[in-house]
Amino acid sequence: MDKFRMIFQFLQSNQESFMSGICGIMALASAQMYSAFDFNCPCLPHYNLAYGLGILLVPPLILFLLGFVLNNNVSMLAEEWRRPQGQRGKDPAVLRYMFCSMAQRAMIAPVVWVSVTLLDGKCIICAFCTSVPVETLGNASHPSLSQREMERVLARIPCREIYDGQELITNEVATRYLRCISQALGWCFVLLMTTLAFLVRSLRPCFTQAAFLKSRYWSHYIDIERKLFDETCTEHAKSFAKVCIQQFFEGMSTDLAATHCHQPREAPTDAEEAARKLLGITDQGTMNMALKSWHRCKPPLHLHPPALPGSNGWAGAGQAPTQPPAPRREIAAYYSRV
Amino acid sequence: MDRFRMIFQYFQSNSESVMNGICGLLALASVKMYNSFDFSCPCLPQYNMAYGLGIMFVPPIVLFLCGLILNRQSLVMLEEWRRPQGCRKKDLAVIRYMFASIMQRAMVAPIIWIVVTLLDGKCLICAFSDSVDPGKFAGFANTSLVQVHQLLAKVPCKDDELMRNNTARKAVSRYLRCWSQALGWSILLILILAAFLARWLRPCFNQATLMQARHWSNYIDIEQKIFEETCCEHSRLFAHKCILHFFESMQQEIKLHSSSLPKEREGAEEEDLLQGITDQEKVNKLLRTWYYEKPPLDVSKVTQR
């Protein structure tokens, strides 16, 4: 149990590095996808532009949406955004923080795709081969062709086997020219994105550090609270099921009192523990009410001191605090925020 | 389990080794990026210089910025620089030390890119092929001025139809590569000498100040990590208590005493760990105070208590 708790705490506390690992994997996956993709320029006048720009822009959009879909925190954000206010106020700064951090992580794979595409050059060569400046790069002595004819010839530049305009402009010259422009665009894009990332990261401590600490704490709190609530509900469901089944068998065995009279003697310890874990909620109606109330009216972030006078008299309460803090502190040391 | 704990503890305690690891990874990434980049010189008069010098200088800027972004200590340094003074004085020597160490680590990958580029030679051949003196090379000496620039611009492209069988092209290429490699090795030698001297001569100047600065920069880093861990632990306990109280408030007709005593025992030890911070306002106030007025570096009152 301790082992599982430690692993769970490790993954939870280290969620930032877990998410960064996921981003790295998505970036590698997007580069791999590009290498595996069989790029096939149509080499026809108007289709080239559509195909080239489509391959440049549509997969990044898909990867961006995929980044949101694969992120578990999206449902947490949606829940927090749509819940009724109840006794607990909503802080838009926390919602903004959660959205921004998710969007930043989802942007990595699309940016990698666009960079790799531009640095490779095939897309731009395919999309813009009909716009090559033939006057400056081509053969000036070649007889002039009509606009449509020229476009048809130039559109075949990406397809070397069927290119028939070597006298007009050599294939290598046009390809080199377009690839140079594509790579220049690619490096400028990479530089721009890196500069933006750097500015976003370095301007934050200069301006909004206090608000940032608050938003980060509460977004982490919301995440943990949701997980702990699910855990508590699972434990409750287990105890509920145990007691329910126990009661069913007890009900069945009342007829055969002679043979089964020894069974109830074993049940009490189990039944007691299970009943304790039920936290007083012992029927479907009450449980449904509890779940509805959790959604409609989350409790305020204000812990009241325990109201019972009797608890202070217990000898057990005095001894207990000395024992657990040591293991707790040990576990606390392993948290990290990368 | 113990092994993981040890590794995790090692990485946490020694943030310097984490930063060195990131620096090394970026250096390897820069070499890999250069190898996988498909260098294709445009072989056109004005474009060559722009392309060649662009490939030599733009990726190092990108790698430098990446080095700054991936280094956690740069955030710590910025936060320490911009925080309000509060009860704790700011020591500029510490901030300077952190800045210097961040810059040194971030410069490694860009320098490796530039050196690898120069030692390979393709960039310089592309950038300066049309700036060489055509008189030095037999094949280009007796062509007209306009044509010679066009021809020289095509030198980096071996497969171009004009350059395929041109022996003068190889001569120009070798000449430029020789210059490029000489430059690359010289830069490497100068940098290594500078690093060597800096390491050797550092103990001669201000060693005590340096040790203090290193200690306190390490301290600031560790303090921030522990604060974040403590906040995590606190929020976990807060959530636990909140949920328990929620379930308790549902039990209205059931006697709380017999069924909730174990919880009260748990509750008491958790109350202790929550340290009195039991509502949203108090947490917000705690975080605001942590930012605006960091506590003084003086724990003698606590230990005496």
Which of A221, A276, A335 is nearest residue B259 as measured by Cβ atoms? A276
Nearest CA distance, B221 vs chain A (angstrom): 12
pLDDT at B12: 53
Q: Nearest CA to A174 among B169, B145, B163, B157? A: B157
Residue reference for tokens 């704990």: B5
Nearest CA distance, A280 vs chain B (angstrom): 6
Contacting residues for B205 by C-beta, under 8 A, at least 6 apart: none
Q: How far apart are CA A238 and CA A220, in angstroms?
A: 27
The helix/strand count (H/E) of chain A reads as 15, 0
pLDDT digits (tens, 9 = 90+) for A246-274: 777 777 666 556 554 544 444 556 667 77
pLDDT digits (tens, 9 = 90+) for A137-183: 877 667 777 888 888 888 999 998 888 888 888 888 899 999 999 99
What does the block give as tokens for A46?
Answer: 């108007």
pLDDT digits (tens, 9 = 90+) for A280-319: 777 777 778 778 877 777 777 776 654 444 333 333 333 3
Contacting residues for B100 by C-beta, under 8 A, at least 6 apart: none
Residues of B in Cβ contact (< 8 Å) with A137: 44
Quote ipTM for the complex.
0.80
Using the CB atoms, write b or e for A60-97: b if 16+ within 10 Å: beebbebbeeebebbebbeebeeeeeeebeebeebbeb
pLDDT at B276: 66
Domain ranges of chain A: 1-210
pLDDT at A334 over 50: no
What does the block give as tokens for A289?
Answer: 């009410």
pLDDT at B259: 47
Which of B235, B245, B256 is nearest residue A304 as measured by Cβ atoms? B245
Residue reference for tokens 């303090």: B223
Q: Nearest CA to A20 among A338, A266, A252? A: A338
State whether A183 and B40 contact (CB < 8 Å): yes
pLDDT at A335: 33
pLDDT at A330 over 80: no
Which of B160, B225, B257 is nearest residue A310 as measured by Cβ atoms? B257
How would you class B293 by CB atoms within 10 Å of its CB: exposed for 0-12, middle for 13-18, buried for 19 or more?
Answer: middle
Helix (H, G, I), strand (E, B) or coil at A302: strand
Residue reference for tokens 């790579």: A183
Domain ranges of chain B: 1-206
Rounded to an integer, the average pLDDT of A198-222 is 86
State whether A198 and B161 contact (CB < 8 Å): no
pLDDT digits (tens, 9 = 90+) for B249-270: 766 534 444 444 444 445 555 5
Return the amino acid letter for A264. P
Which of A194, A217, A280 is nearest residue B283 as measured by Cβ atoms? A217
Mutate to test the interface with B, among A6, A111, A301 (most CBs of B within 10 A): A301
Shortest CA distance from A333: residue in chain B = B229
Helix (H, G, I), strand (E, B) or coil at B279: strand
Mutate to test the interface with B, among A5, A311, A319, A331 (most CBs of B within 10 A): A311
Q: How far apart are CA A152 and CA A273, in angstroms?
A: 82
CA–chain centroid gap for B4, Å, is 26
* Backbone φ, ψ for residue A302 (5° rounding): -150, 110
Residues of A in Cβ contact (< 8 Å) with B256: 280, 308
Mutate to test the interface with A, among B26, B65, B270 (most CBs of A within 10 A): B65
Which of A225, A320, A334 is nearest residue B239 as measured by Cβ atoms? A225
* Backbone φ, ψ for residue B165 (5° rounding): -110, 25
Q: With a cut of 70, list the residues of chain B below it in pLDDT.
A: 1, 3-14, 140-142, 250-278, 293-305
For residue A324, how many other CB atoms are within 10 A of its CB?
14
Residues of B in Cβ contact (< 8 Å) with A337: 225, 228-229, 232
C-alpha distances (whole Å) from B218 to each of A84, B77, B83, B222, B225 are 45, 11, 17, 6, 11
* Backbone φ, ψ for residue A94 (5° rounding): -65, -45
pLDDT at A6: 60
The helix/strand count (H/E) of chain B reads as 12, 0
State whether A302 and B262 contact (CB < 8 Å): no
pLDDT digits (tens, 9 = 90+) for A69-82: 888 888 888 888 88
